[in-house]
Structure 1
Amino acid sequence: MTTDIQQRLTALTEQLHHLNYQYYQRDISEVSDQEFDRLLAELARLEDEYPQFAQANSPTQRVGGTVTKQFPTAEHRYPMLSLGNTYSEADLREFDERVRKGLEGAETAYVCELKFDGAAMSLTYEAGQLTQAVTRGDGARGDVVTSNVRTIRNVPLHLRPAGAPQPPEFEVRGEIFMPLPVFAELNQEREANGEAQLANPRNAAAGALKLQDSAQVAARKLRFYAYAFLMPGRAQFATHSASLEALSAWGLPVADTWRRCATLEQVLDFVHEWDQKRFELPVATDGIVIKVDDFRQQELLGYTAKSPRWAIAYKYPAEAGRTRLLAVQYQVGRTGAVTPVALLEPVPLAGTVVRRASLHNANQIAALDLRLGDLVFVEKGGEIIPKVTGVDLEARPEGSQPIVYPTECPACGTPLLRPEGEAHFRCPNDRGCPPQRKAKLEHFVSRKALDIDGLGAETVGRFFDLGLVTDAASLYELPAKAGQLAQLERMGEKSVQRLVAGLALSQQIPFDRVLFGLGIRYVGETVAEKLAAHYRTVEALAAATAPELAAVPEVGGVIAESAAAWFREPENQALVERLRAAGVQLALTGEAPQPQSDRLAGLTFVLSGVFEQHSRDGLHHLIEQHGGKITGSISKKLSFLVAGDKMGPAKREKATSLNVPIISETDLLAMLPAAGDAADATAATPGSAAAVASAAYEQGALF
């Protein structure tokens, strides 16, 4: 039977690897999404039951779940040098002359590749298996982020036995990037949550790779393109182009935009071709990389202290336009943030016609000294988001006046507030301000929240404007208005039937997504999952204090205060009750994890620092499984402060001043029953738990 299970687990692993390759490398869906999920769930179940058979590069690693408190570093076997940059054809001709001189006039060919704007990554494969992923770092050493890179869907965890023979061990260099549609969606979500927008996809990708929870990295939908093969001597291939073809055959994603050029003129043709064509791609690019194709010639040319002599990066000049500022429009978001947007005379820029540009906030307007009628310079930040970067002061109209930021909400007239430490002015009238109320509804029905079929953002916004809905709970009153809805333009009976069915299905959406859909400021998708998993019911969540909420892993003080304040509001409490009456899921289904003992009953703990044997989330779970409670603040009532590595001195000082015992992770684990003592421990009383801890404290065992 064991052999059968191992064979099934291996077969599932190979099948899922194949399906991933077909989908992400060849755009072929051999099975439905439901069938793929079923196979993946079966594999996860078998790995959970028989962990001895699980493979390190199992397809189940794609979803993440590993929590890394510190990223170890590793030395690069081959230094990750930077490339020299050039910005003109004349510079490229000089580069070609240097190459020919270094090769004593020998003929050479080049490979041209688009320079994707992301984070450089080094992948090591041994016996066809991904064993290590390391960031560029300082070029000599980088951070090991293997668990995070395993979540990137188009990075092969094991290679295909195709094409040229694979060396036992080799390294692949490439770029990890965030696709433009994903970047736009992420910024929209951050804006809706009242968070600052990310500047460009490069920063977004680099930041995602350093997230401690690999499940969050998986949610960022990063992608990878390979651009270099390395091994001692690189004797496997004669040319760089041959190595790219082999990498592709082995299942590594190689962008199909590269080209081998026999002459410099062909290189220049490639540069000109992609000058505007690059804007059609779903990934940000900032130039072209030109490499000598022949590996032997690369070795002859060698390196400078900082870069190879056989390669160079041509950077397209940043596209900027000059146009007139016609007006400033102030938009009110879901959280009340008022964002200024420049309305411009149309100007062609980076492949599009720009009519609007971001002004960020009042500070930016003041820093630029903007005035209506100014001729302004506009660029695309990271070639993505248009922004005003300056003013042509010599062309400023006489008598122009500085722009005065509004003091009242442009939508409802409520006086604006500017919270301390924030850049945005906000409208506090979250229940009466129409744009905020409409945006909350649009958020509730969005794909990551309730995802109600037949009720997208445009439709729900239209219903709000017509007075048919007012808040999330009112959506579930729409079936009673079916006849009225069917009379609306572009609706009809079939559309109404689809909407009613979508509302019914949304009653099965899990509690964590409902919580995210409520639109509580700072409570994004991941935080909603953490809170729902911890409290399991909306009643328990609503009863929690801000310090208790802050003790939940990955929920900080600002988030905790915002969530606690939201649930204190009577109007929000009434909304929750109306959603309950509508049949929306306000609790996690299934049984909660059963406590293992009550050894820690009556005791409260604060966890601080990085721990060796368990993650903070794991210790949190252990304490609760044995009857203890976690809090986020230190007070006289606190039983113990559990100190890990790099704990902040302020917490230690406060605990010491209040005579709160400070214990280590080992001390905490010593308080728990051994595996064979679990039954006896369960019979203990809360008093005995305190007595056990007190005795250990008196004996000095907890220091």
Structure 2
Amino acid sequence: MTESPVADLSREAAEAELARLARALARHDALYYQGDAPEISDADYDALRRRHADIEARFPELVKPDSPSQRVGAGISEAFAEVRHGVPMLSLDNAFSDDEVRDFAARIARFLKLPGEELIAFVAEPKIDGLSASLLYVDGVLEVGATRGDGRSGEDVTANLRTLGEARIPSRLKGSGWPARVEVRGEVYAPTDAFTAFNAAAEAEGRRSYANPRNFAAGSLRQKNPAITAGRPLNFFAYAWGEPAEGFSETQAGALEKLAEWGFPTNPRSVRVEGAEGLLQVYRALEADRATLGYDIDGVVYKVDRLDLQARLGFVARSPRWAIAHKFPAQQATTVLEGIDIQVGRTGSLTPVARLAPVTVGGVVVRNATLHNEDEIARKDVRIGDTVVLQRAGDVIPQIVAVVPERRPADALPFAFPTHCPACGSEAVREEGEARRRCTGGLICPAQIVERLKHFVGRKAFDIEGLGEKQLVAFHERGWIREPADIFRLARDKEQLTALRAEDGYGETSVANLVAGIEARRTIALERLIFALGIREIGEQTSLLLAREFETWDSFDAAGREAAAGLPSAAWTALANAPGVSARMLALMAEATPPEADPWLDAPLDQKIALALPTLAAPARRALAGLAGDWDGLRRLLVIARDEGPSETLGRIAGVSGVGPVAARAVAEFFHEPHNRTVVEALVAELSGVLPAARPQTDTPVAGKTVVFTGSLERFTRDEARARAEALGAKVSGSVSRKTDYLVAGPGAGSKLAEAHKHGVTVLSEDDWLTLTGG
């Protein structure tokens, strides 16, 4: 999916996207680490992480202590006791090309300030596709074995690890010279032949089989009954250590030798090399031998050999600077595309999914593959009946790489992507710059309704106490809540409330509390009501701006309906979004009345444009000439600008400071759908009143001042701080500049504090801020 450039994101949009990405990453972490059932490829997961990191780099004030950038893996399962790692088990950044590997080596050289001709020594190790484990030995005896978990704490699987046997995980260290307390780390994996045999036997007996050796290893190790683990074919490679932090060798290669001396199997394909080209030679050799190794690997790990240099290089967030994982490309196969299904996501996005003739790719039977979006289908010219090249990106989720044109059926037609939602029949629109169409059904679309209702009752919307996701899902499945108005109807439906007590274990008090929570929200502030509707592009701050502009629900509702009736044509939208076209140019074009005939046959078009639009600057005239092509084309563009543009009401919404044309169009499109209007009418009919938005004060010490909050605020949340400052008439910014009046700094303030000192900005503690604002 094509994302908006990070540089173009507003702070509000960035905050919303970070929250969305954090939820997605948490879900995929749990699927991978706890459920042993990943749903997306390593590449797609890495893309989510990169997007998240890019936004945080652009808006560092939005970085939260629980951000995905601050953690590794996922939380531990409640089925196992928690083990705190002596040293965190971090993950690695990834490289996917030769150039990225060369950049990695070059970055290290620059960081260490080494001469250009000096080659850095690395250890290259096969990246085993298994489950990371940590083994704590005290006085040479195995005391605790744990999974990686979230990187700081893992699951106690000591009994299960002991079943691997002395040849793989010794109960007592061999040799000598080991520290009194040492934490050995490595990978539990399943040999490919043993995995294949296990799956074949399981399927024959009707037992559970596993998608790949990694899931098999993870599922086998995380059994509550160690006897089950003992019957599974698992091996172990040691490759690192936690405690002691100072190590027990001067080099990575030397440490691997020590681990082998103490009785641990280490990978025989690990090798010490010099420079980026040495790394790439190892990578190519392992890639060529991958199928014959006897175990799954998904890349090669490169580590700086000298441990003193590792210490100097240190870490960045969740990854060491001195190591990186170079991933292999996905495995491929060919099959026949039997159909294309359109799935509607919980936020309304339409995603095409290929239905395939079953084929085995990398040991997994594949029946479906992602097609991403309609542009991808058109770019690859994928048609039903085609023979296609399939790959498992990151060896997890399948995707279609290309079509085999010589095998195309004669009657295969280009795929027509639907313009209406298959779930509810609403229009499926695609905004400029968006890669996917989205259903506009919103509050009535069955594929989206639970997610929309969660937003509706959320803390920043109606904030209904006692009505969370669990209750919404249960009530929706019973048909009790299908739209927001049903929530308020439920509160007075005695028959359903009686059933609620009987079927869900609610007592009279809990039912009374739920009813009270609903009834308390029959009167709602206008900005909360607007935000609760879940209109795309309309976040909390934009809702407040609209509420202050229109003051009453009736006024906003009328403006939305009028804007919907005056949505600009597709031709006007294309013109408005064309390169070089500005709002001023559009305004001049809308007022122009050019002659019927070409006024100057031999003149260049940009000079003819000067006759029709004399105040248009030369660069703009040239841009318009490029769009028009000739005089007739220019006349057509002028007619579009005059007759097909947005209504005055849409312009009014767009003209609200801080709202803009994208959000205005989103409001118009929401009200353009008749069923959205019906749902909103039913909701408003259930309400007792809609309160106007509070106006910011103008007589406070901070009215008109620009304020930035940074650090880990302790006296109030970031949302509370922003709301309070804006209510007092201050403008809250996400970055420090010469125009900033105050920086309110909590513990851990970093770059913003330095910028404030640089520009002479007044720096306040949280207590100073409360004193200044009257607390």
TM range (shorter): 0.3 to 0.5
Structure whose CA Rg is larger: 2
